[in-house]
């Protein structure tokens, strides 16, 4: 079946512009995660959605970052007034959360964001 998809695959923007990154999770997965991967920093957790619960935004680095998940499916990560330090690969993952003891997360291919 279809995996997690993300769009665009690459995004180049100018400093100060807003960007939107999209994630289509695996159908039926209730949990959705956004991570950021930058050189030297590894993978950082950004935000987590689980069903209809309020999202866990504890990983968002600043108030320029926001995310929403419409209808419990597609998610959009928005970065306002982009800065050069926002350049990174943004990864989305989803999981079924069917078994608390085995919450395998399925990752999308990522969006490579470059801020000039």
Partner 1 sequence: SQELEQSPQSLIVQEGKNLTINCTSSKTLYGLYWYKQKYGEGLIFLMMLQKGGEEKSHEKITAKLDEKKQQSSLHITASQPSHAGIYLCGADPGYALNFGKGTSLLVTP
Q: Which residues are near partner 1 by CB under 8 A?
A: 4, 9, 31, 33, 35, 40-43, 45, 48, 50, 56, 59, 91, 93, 101-110
Given the complex with partner 1, which of 48 and 82 has the nearer CB atom? 48
In the complex, minimum distance from the CB of residue 33 to partner 1, in angstroms, rounded to a whole number: 5
Residues 6 or more apart in contact with residue 54 via CB below 8 angstroms? none
Half-sphere exposure of 38 (CA within 13 A, CB side): 13
User: Cβ of residue 17: shortest distance to partner 1, in angstroms?
Assistant: 24
Which is nearer to partner 1, 38 or 76 (by Cβ)? 38
Find the shortest distance in angstroms from Cβ 107 to partner 1: 4
30-to-17, 85, 107 alpha-carbon distances in Å: 31, 31, 14
Residue (63 or 101) nearer to partner 1, CB: 101
CB of 16 to partner 1, least distance (A): 28
What is the rounded CA–CA span in Å between residue 61 and residue 45?
Answer: 10
Among the listed residues 116, 114, 112, 81, the one whose alpha carbon sits nearest the alpha carbon of residue 7: 112
């Amino acid at each position: 079946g279809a995996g997690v998809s993300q769009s665009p695959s690459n995004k180049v923007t100018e400093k100060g512009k807003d960007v939107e990154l999209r994630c289509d999770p695996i159908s039926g997965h209730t949990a959705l995660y956004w991570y950021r991967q930058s050189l030297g920093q590894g993978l950082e957790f950004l935000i987590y959605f689980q069903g209809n619960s309020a999202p866990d935004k504890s990983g968002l680095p600043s108030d320029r970052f926001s995310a929403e998940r419409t209808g419990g499916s597609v998610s959009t990560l928005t970065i306002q007034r982009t800065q050069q330090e926002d350049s990174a690969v943004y990864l989305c993952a989803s999981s079924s959360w069917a078994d608390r003891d085995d919450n395998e997360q399925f990752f999308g291919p990522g969006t490579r964001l470059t801020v000039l």
